[in-house]
Structure 1
């Protein structure tokens, strides 16, 4: 006898009807497992009162009906703990029970099943199926189930449960993907390139201006938007082209501009000398 689990006492606070239902189920399992379900009526009543607790005994003492058989005592407790229900109110609670965001599907389904017990539906499975589909927070799977049409309760529970598992698996992979993105950003050093004016890796071969001709100064390997050359004015003497360095410093002088400016100044001097 001691190897069997003894039912917990009846909890008289909270949802008394549900508490009584659980206690009665546990008691029936205990009596069947121990073979006491075949005991005499008085013995079974004594077992019930021994397990139900002090609050349950107080309720028993207030019963006015016949208490000679075990079945009569069970019925008195049933009537006390589960008074006549308001079916409309029970169905109101059932049809307005939606799944909360991030609420596990199994918790939502179990609550729907509990609410359905008090609704006295003619087809309990269909009502539960409809509520699971219409109340789920998974709108994508909901739409697919509605399109599929007359699916069974078993199919609905399977698909909603599998969809939840898939979402959790995808969510578990996101931190890994985000970590890889951060690592790639750290290992790839970007620079603000002075040749093209854009941001790219610190590799001159990756510069989009490489090999291109500047539209401003006609030199290669940089764009006009970042070109630093300027026209030279009032040059007093000719400067040979080979004296200019081929670089990209801030003050660059180009051979063609210099030759044109020097030639123009010489022409003015010759005109003044003539007149």
Structure 2
């Protein structure tokens, strides 16, 4: 009996056969975004095919290790390294833009702060940046007095 060739397609169990596999991971363009999209597609596939309910042994890819380990390793390859100093610089210089609502400014600050590694101080840092960066002197004065 011959062994299947590397890269050859293998048959899937019958209960998986009606569920299409996720599209191949695109390694061109924004690879980090492509990787996030692929992971979401894979999670959806696992749920739809009931693969997530299978024992871990069935969820491994050619005994390379658990799927979680594989995904973690690929995360390390595709997720860009965060330059915390730069992210904090961008956050620290974020001022409310002309015609930007306070809600939109706070939302932007939350997004910027999420990559700064502030952890439990994140809320306080957003509050302080809001007070410093808000355009209205009257609103700034009210925030400081509270």
Q: TM-score range by the shorter chain?
A: 0.5 to 0.7
1:92 aligned to which of 89, 104, 107: 89
Aligned to 1:197: none
1:39 aligned to which of 54, 60, 65: 54
Distance 1:89 1:75, change over 3 A: same
1:1-275 to structure 2, matched below 5 A, reads 13-14=29-30, 16=32, 20=35, 24=39, 28=43, 30=44, 34=48, 36-41=51-56, 67-122=64-119, 123-148=121-146
Count of residue correspondences: 121
Which structure: larger Rg? Answer: 1
Deviations 1:41-63 (A, max 9, x none): 586578xxxxxxxxxxxxxxxxx
TM-score (normalizing by structure 1): 0.35
Aligned to 1:217: none
Deviations 1:207-246 (A, max 9, x none): xxxxxxxxxxxxxxxxxxxxxxxxxxxxxxxxxxxxxxxx
RMSD: 3.7
Asked whether the equivalents of residues 42 and 70 of structure 1 are also in contact (C-alpha less than 8 Å), the reply is no
Asked whether the equivalents of residues 31 and 78 of structure 2 are also in contact (C-alpha less than 8 Å), the reply is no
Distance 1:96 1:10 in 2: 36
What stretches of structure 1 of length at least 5 have no aligned partner? 1-6, 47-65, 149-275
Distance 1:15 1:142, change over 3 A: farther
Distance 1:141 1:22 in 2: 41
